[in-house]
Structure 1
Amino acid sequence: MKYKSRKKALILLADGTIFYGKSIGKEGTAYGEVCFNTGTTGYQEIFTDPSYFGQIMVTTNAHIGNYGTLDKEMESENVKIAGLVCKNFSFEYSRPGGDSSLEGFFEKHNTLAISDVDTRALVSYIRDNGAMNAVISTDVDNIEGLKKQLAEVPSMVGLELASKVSTKEPYFFGNENATYKVAALDIGIKKNILRNLAKRDVYIKVFPYNAKFEDLEAFNPDGYFLSNGPGDPEPLIDAIKLTKEILSKNKPLFGICLGHQVIALANGISTYKMHNGHRGINHPVKNLVTGKGEISSQNHGFAINREETEANDNVEITHVHLNDNTVAGIKLKNKNCFSVQYHPEASPGPNDSAYVFDQFIENMKK
């Protein structure tokens, strides 16, 4: 690669801590909650996952961009992260059939990224002190100005972000002559979830985050789906109300991640912001029903209250995260409903968790 001069850059955390690096090209400033993902591959899927909207992503893998990007690996229409922080950024890529370098991809999507940061030290610091707001910038001589602007960035607690990433109008996905029809609420849906449903003979109609039950019911679906997504689940009043209406009709209902949290809230179980959250492709989950372990992909900063879940006579904990015993899956004893706090469509196992889609199909068959 031809040598290029690169501007100095920094990441400033809300508590005043600063780490320095270099811009990968685009100059400017970006704000968001800083978090880290421990996956060694799948960076394009991470960057385009709506669940990461408004977050500055720190990647722990030493090399980012080495295999470029591919259009079919997009999880949404554009980049959703607020910005990227990495150690070594690869300006050239070596994958045959790749569509673009990551540099070109970020230029296309107007994304700010900085590299040459000591990400081991940064991640260690975030682990100890928790996820917090941060700013990345090439304006390294304006520390006080950046601090003032950062102080005005809202906390992730209480922040409703589903409306920022949801579709504006309903749309269809899959074969209209499929055996099953599913109404999906888009509160940050990933394309690969739709692909996994479609390949199981499902025709999906995707609805905006604030859709009414009557809207979904008019599709005459065999089942309902609540998607993943960003932000705090508690402000999603419309989605929680919708969930209660679906449950009152005892329709087959399946939720993933944010959808899982909304189902919990609809059943009187509270949620809370985690110290760091779970973000990576090697998270161990135990299925308490089968006794089997799963290697899962996870990316969430909120979780449901385990004590309240255990105290709820109508709810059964089906999965637990083996690192910290947080709830990773539930089902309702008196309703045709279940949910998981991980991404079965991401397949890091690779197929450990694919059965949850089959379980949803079986619930619709019944």
Structure 2
Amino acid sequence: MKALLLLENGMAFEGQGFGEPRDVLCEVVFNSAMCGYTELLTDPSYAGQGVVMTYPMIGNYGICYEDAEAGHPWVEAFIVHSVSGIASNFRCDIDLDGYLKSNRIPGISGIDTRALTRCLRESGTMRGMLCFGDQVDRDEMKRKIAAHVVPNGVSQVSIRKPRDYGNGSVKVALLDYGTKENIIRSLTRRGCTVRRFPNDTPFEEIKAWNPDGVMLSNGPGDPQACVKEIAELKRVYESGIPTFAICMGHQLMALSQGANTYKLKYGHRGINHPVKELKSNRVYITSQNHGYVVDAGTIDSSVAEVSYISMNDRSVEGLDYKNGRVFSVQFHPEACSGPLDTGFLFDRFMDLMGGGRV
């Protein structure tokens, strides 16, 4: 079936549809990873987004359910140059096309993803619409794109009731803004019992569980829209409970302490982003997925200091708070998929809580 991707700047890309033939509106972003599309599709941080893969062929190893970061995919649409006709992998549970169909996710292939990526780099992230069929009304598509508001997805992707994982001696309260499953696995593997709380859980409920530490997860959307969550994190910080924050959690903690955030032109999304640790002057290759960053000029030096920066654009990639009990990073140390260079940050968190490490 023919498919058309139209961007808000008027650029159009014609190709072949795959997955579920369903028209969707989305925010169009690109990811520079060469692999890991199962993890990408199921990352809740991609809620509401149509993801362009810069690597030309996708789907060659199929989908392995064990690699998923959530129970179902969260992307709004999947945009690729070429879909592999064969899924060659002894772990494969289903091919990519079948997986998208079973989860009602539309896709488009056969387009020039290099040109599309250049467009997004030059003009910035844009809203777009994917439509199926031989005859589409481009004027109607333009009207729908202009009216589309990218939703704040944290409340959409968070769980509704607390859920427990593991049976270790160290208790970690995980605030779920759209957590990836490997954050939980990284904690339980180190001997933690993890209680996953909904995004809007009051601090009193968290404190009543008497955790040894608090983990703040990744998630989608504009962090400044999370007004209630920011207010509760002020109380988490003031409590002195050891706290480790990743991605959205990193941004929300910074906002709770008076810093600001801003939207990047086209975001950081991929498994190949270099980040420098300022104290050691060492560079790590990291997995990233975010469209917003903390504004370095708004960080109170008496509250926190920048610990990591991006080697691509010098933006803030980590903060160490002066109370010695809270630290955060913009990238993903659990890195599924991606390099495991920064997994030691979970060990640092364990040390703060007085627990063990792997």
Hey, what's the Cα distance between the residues in 1 that align with 2:20 and 2:257?
46
For 2:36 and 2:91, how far apart are their aligned partners in 1?
Answer: 16
2:237 counterpart residue number = 247
Q: Is the 8 A contact 1:240 1:262 kept in 2?
A: yes
Q: Report what 1:340 is aligned to.
A: 329
In the other structure, the counterpart of 1:148 is 143
Counterpart of 1:104?
98
Q: Distance in 2 between matches of 1:83 and 1:146?
A: 16
TM-score computed with the length of structure 1 as normaliser:
0.94
Secondary structure of 1:275 counterpart: strand
> Which shows bigger deviation, 76-85 or 344-353?
344-353
Offset at residue 349 of structure 1 (A): 6.4
Which residue of 116, 140, 149 maps to 1:122?
A: 116
> How many angstroms apart in 2 are the aligned matches of 1:347 and 1:195?
11
Matches of 2:19 and 2:349 in 1, distance apart? 45
Output the CA distance in 1 between the equivalents of 2:302 and 2:126: 35
Q: Does 2:49 correspond to 1:59?
A: no
- 1:335-361 deviations in Å (ceiling 9; x for gaps): 400000000111666331001100100
Could you tell me the percent identity over the aligned residues? 39
Q: Does 1:315 align with 2:304?
A: yes
Tell me the number of residue pairs that the alignment of Structure 1 and Structure 2 aligns.
354
Q: Distance in 2 between matches of 1:25 and 1:70?
A: 17
Q: Give the whole-Å Cα distance in 2 for the aligned partners of 1:350 and 1:131.
A: 26
1:234 aligned counterpart, secondary structure: helix
Once the two structures are TM-superposed, the CA of residue 17 in structure 1 deviates from its matched residue by 1.1
Equivalent-residue separation in structure 2 for 1:28 and 1:76 (angstroms)? 22
Write the distance in 1 (CA, Å) between the matches of 2:329 and 2:321.
Answer: 12
Which ranges of structure 1 fall in alignment gaps of 5 or more residues? 1-6
Cα separation, partners in 2 of 1:25 and 1:249, compared to 1, 3 Å: closer
Segments of 5+ residues of structure 2 without an aligned counterpart are none
Equivalent in the alignment of 2:280? 290
Partner of 2:34: 40
Paired letter, 2:175: L
- The more displaced of 115-124 and 84-93 is 84-93
Aligned to 2:153: 161
Deviations 1:39-58 (A, max 9, x none): 00000100100000000000
One-letter amino acid matched to 1:191: E
Deviation for aligned residue 1:218: 1.5
Q: Is the 8 A contact 1:10 1:18 kept in 2?
A: yes
Decide whether the 8 Å contact of 1:286 with 1:292 is kept in 2: yes
Output the CA distance in 2 between the equivalents of 1:225 and 1:247: 12
- When the two chains are superposed, the root-mean-square deviation of aligned CA atoms in Å is 1.3
Partner of 2:171: 181
Which of 305, 327, 346 is the equivalent residue of 1:357?
346
Task: Show the counterpart of 1:217.
Answer: 207
Shift of the alpha carbon at 1:259? 0.1
Matched-pair contact (CA < 8 Å) for 1:347–1:353:
no
SS of the residue 2:225 aligns to = coil
* Contact preservation (8 Å) 2:22, 2:104: no
What TM-score does the superposition give when structure 2 sets the normalisation length? Answer: 0.96
Output the CA distance in 1 between the equivalents of 2:315 and 2:19.
40
Kindly indicate whether the alpha-carbon contact (under 8 Å) linking 1:36 and 1:59 is maintained by their aligned counterparts in 2.
yes
Residue 145 of structure 2 aligns to a residue whose secondary structure is helix
Match of 2:220 in 1: 230
- Give the deviation of 1:25 after TM superposition: 4.7
Instruction: Please list the CA deviations of residues 253-310 of structure 1 after superposition, one character each: whole Å capped at 9, or x if unmatched.
Output: 110000000010011000011100000011000111222110000000000001112x
* Structure 1 counterpart of 2:261: 271
**How far 1:160 sits from its partner (Å)?**
2.2
SS at match of 1:172: strand
- Separation of aligned partners in 2, 1:273 and 1:305: 10
In the alignment, is the contact (CA less than 8 A) between 1:165 and 1:188 conserved in 2? yes
Match of 2:80 in 1: 86
Which residue does 1:8 correspond to in 2? 2
- For the residue of structure 2 that corresponds to 1:345, the secondary structure is coil
Question: Quick check: 327-336 or 199-208, which moved more?
Answer: 327-336
* Correspondence for 1:28: 22
2:255 equivalent to 1:260: no
- Tell me the CA shift for residue 106 of structure 1: 0.6
Distance 2:222 2:121 in 1: 20
